[in-house]
């Protein structure tokens, strides 16, 4: 089991990471952040990505889809933004957010590493 601080440190160690946050999508508030800069305000990103998660959950409900969201990927010209919804012991109602430099990141590996962090996280 790892705590929030350790989980975020592990996320920061993923190749190409610009910033990471653990976010409560009920409130849009981050429980913790690591990284970021003047061009990547993680508090703003947490709130904005909360809207993305809520919209997708609502859309799935309207469509009657009885499935779970593993992650949501937003691809920009120079970045990947990866949102991984947590389930089970890790904590429903939360997501891990990871901003990656597209030129340095391996998206498949980042997804696998976030999944591993989720499996070990205890909120």
Mean pLDDT for 59-63 is 95
Mean pLDDT over the full length of the chain:
93
What pLDDT, on the 0 to 100 scale, is given for residue 27?
A: 93
How much of the chain exceeds pLDDT 70, in percent? 97
What digits encode the pLDDT tens for the residues 11-49? Answer: 999 999 999 999 998 899 999 999 998 889 999 999 999
In angstroms, the CA 4 to CA 21 distance is 9
pLDDT at 88 exceeding the cut of 70: no
């Amino acid at each position: 089991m790892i705590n929030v601080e350790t989980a975020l440190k592990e996320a920061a160690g993923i190749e190409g990471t610009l910033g990471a946050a653990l976010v409560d999508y009920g409130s849009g508030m981050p429980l913790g952040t690591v990284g970021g800069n003047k061009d990547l305000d993680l508090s703003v990103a947490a709130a904005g990505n909360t809207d993305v998660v809520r919209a997708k959950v609502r859309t799935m409900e309207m469509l009657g889809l009885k499935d779970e969201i593993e992650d949501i990927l937003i691809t920009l010209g120079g970045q990947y933004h990866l949102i991984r919804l947590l389930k089970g012991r890790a904590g429903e109602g939360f997501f891990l957010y990871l901003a990656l430099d597209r030129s340095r990141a391996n998206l498949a590996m980042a997804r696998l590493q976030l999944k591993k962090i989720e499996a070990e996280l205890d909120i």
